[in-house]
Structure 1
Amino acid sequence: MKQSSIRIEASAARVLLFEEVYPARAAQEQAEKSKLNAFGALARLNPLNRPKPDTVLLSKWELRYEPFWHVVARRDVDFTHDATYVLPVANPHAQRLDIGGQVYPVLSREKKPHIELPARERCLRRVDTAVFQDGMKREVKSTVLQRYVDKYQATEQEQLDRDGLLQPLLSSSAAAQIALSRLGSEAIDASEMHDDTVTIEKLHLYYRPVFAFEYTWGGAGKVGVVEVDGLTGDVVELGQWFREKLGGMVTRDLLVDIGADAISMAIPGGSIAVKVINRLV
């Protein structure tokens, strides 16, 4: 059985940044409209002690940059498939056919004469996949992340030194694994495998701007966070305040940690041999 291999294009790894479209003042106005909802539905519906505009005050705010991954990969498979072709026979009186010196008996299936011709098919199959995955391991729909890429302009960063960058909890190798496992789940009906190569075409880390406003409810001693998307202006009333930020300068070498030992996904039908691995610079 032919060994499978993984190839990573040298230009696959990129770090890209979206600049905010929605300004800070407009984002704060949006947050103020939703601040009473930052403590949950039970607090809002409590008739005895509910948050009020004069008891909920802004304590701090920040512009942070949240990561997500865009991985594009393909699988090219060169294989042989054994098949039997059923060929109709037009002459109702034929008993056998001589094709190239090989004799095939004429068979009858539901009164339709035919021959069965064994063949070896030499096949090439390409399987493509694209993954959009939140870098903080949250349940964010891939269509939401794809819309950012399709609609807004991001600038590639050779090195990124900016306050508020969140450290991805999902590593580059883990993001690549998602794409690789999808490709590996595609069944290949092969009698013999000749070559099975996976190519990672894109391993892009995007940073998108998010405004976070922390409010304190003085009457109950509670803290709530309202988030405003810096690209769309969409509001998340029950937001989060991430304390773990990246310190120092971010480069592709720092964030893209994929390597031979990091890829453990096995494509069915063979083991993995990393054909081309570099530091993606």
Structure 2
Amino acid sequence: MDSFNLVAHEPRMLVLTDEKTFEEMKELAWNKKTAAFGGLKNLLSRPKPEDINITHSEKQYKPFWHAVCSTHFEYKRKCEFTVKISDPIVQKVIVCGEEKAIDPQRNIKLSRIEHCLESTTKEIFIDAYSENEDDFSRYITMPARELGQTEELNEGDNIVVPVKVKAAYIVRKLLSEMIKPIDADEILDETVKIDTLDLYFRPIYAFEYTWIPKNKQNVLEFDGITGEFYSGKVLKQKMTEIFTEDALFEIGGEVAGFIVPGAGIPVKILQESRKRKKIIDKT
């Protein structure tokens, strides 16, 4: 495994910026208030719009990971194959100046060296709080701003949902799926690249609705970028970070130990400062 190289770009932290205003989201939430209790089957038990109020609203930032991994394996392997000598009058076969014996089944065995190249790419999206894979692909083409720290999102009453999934977990997951045993006699190059390792935060507006006559509450969450809505929950208080940012983005030592425990395989980290703030226009 001395030929193994892992090249990992420094993880980035980004926040999506092309979001709707709070006023726009509140108007949308008001127009959708009956949908908060839309699961009721009995038409007679459905609330009237005038009986529903918005009793709490909050802005959340929810995290997800986007990662892309590519592999390049180059190696040589020896392979034997059989050639049938069908003409009975043939008594000797010389290949590349070497005489090959003809066995009783009229076969000769030859060998060759195969020079092999394998290249693959895998992309994953993982909810950084629930650890579930999900399709967040629509967001990565949208404008985003690079963050130096999550505190930049914690203004006012904003609630930043903590990240439960570290960068090292994402890398180990990719490596476990991408690295496989190679049937080779000589390995020329084993390179695995973590081409992208980005932690995104997307703005979510959560609205709590109260059906006043029944004193019943339900919550809808509205995507601050797309306007989509679905059942959710309000948090009502700021949440504590689970990891320090250094621990969250550390990958070198943990990944090297995962590949070959104790072998000290070098992990090349391409340094790109996460503290550099910029607008990334991907449209």
Q: The TM-score by the shorter chain falls in which range? A: 0.7 to 0.9
In 2 relative to 1, CA 240–103 (structure 1 residues): closer, same or farther, beyond 3 Å? farther
Q: Deviations over 1:90-110 (max 9, x none)?
A: 98854432123322246799x
Could you tell me the percent identity over the aligned residues?
27
| 8 A contact 1:177–1:263 mirrored in 2 | no
Q: Does 1:148 align with 2:139?
A: yes
Distance in 2 of aligned mates of 1:195 and 1:20: 42
Quote the residue 1:158 is aligned against. Answer: 148
Quote the residue 1:127 is aligned against. Answer: 120
Shift of 1:277: 5.9
Quote the residue 1:275 is aligned against. Answer: 266
Q: Does 1:83 align with 2:79?
A: yes
Q: Partner amino acid for 1:7? A: L
Q: Deviations over 1:80-122 (max 9, x none)?
A: 323224567798854432123322246799xxx8754212334
* Cα RMSD, aligned residues only: 3.6
| 8 A contact 1:78–1:124 mirrored in 2 | yes
**Match of 2:139, SS?**
helix
Shift of 1:27: 2.1
Shift of 1:172: 1.7
Structure 2 residues without counterparts, runs of 5 or longer: 274-283
Quote the residue 2:219 is aligned against. Answer: 225
Distance in 2 of aligned mates of 1:137 and 1:23: 27
Compute the TM-score of the two structures, normalised by the length of structure 1.
Answer: 0.76
Quote the residue 2:111 is aligned against. Answer: 118
**Match of 1:261, SS?**
helix
Distance in 2 of aligned mates of 1:103 and 1:244: 83
Q: Partner amino acid for 2:144? A: A
Quote the residue 2:94 is aligned against. Answer: 98
Quote the residue 2:193 is aligned against. Answer: 199
| 8 A contact 1:8–1:276 mirrored in 2 | yes
Quote the residue 2:167 is aligned against. Answer: 172
Matched residue count: 266
Q: Deviations over 1:35-93 (max 9, x none)?
A: 2332462xx22456443323321112122221111112223334332322456779885
Quote the residue 1:16 is aligned against. Answer: 14
Q: Deviations over 1:231-276 (max 9, x none)?
A: 111121x12224574569x996464132423666458xx9864412
Q: Deviations over 1:3-54 (max 9, x none)?
A: 5856243x4311111114333333223222332332462xx22456443323
Compute the TM-score of the two structures, normalised by the length of structure 2.
Answer: 0.75
In 2 relative to 1, CA 245–25 (structure 1 residues): closer, same or farther, beyond 3 Å? same
In 2 relative to 1, CA 196–138 (structure 1 residues): closer, same or farther, beyond 3 Å? closer
Q: Does 1:25 align with 2:16?
A: no
Quote the residue 2:279 is aligned against. Answer: none
Structure 1 residues without counterparts, runs of 5 or longer: none
Q: Does 1:181 align with 2:181?
A: no
Quote the residue 2:280 is aligned against. Answer: none
Distance in 1 of aligned mates of 2:236 and 2:3: 42
Distance in 1 of aligned mates of 2:18 and 2:104: 72
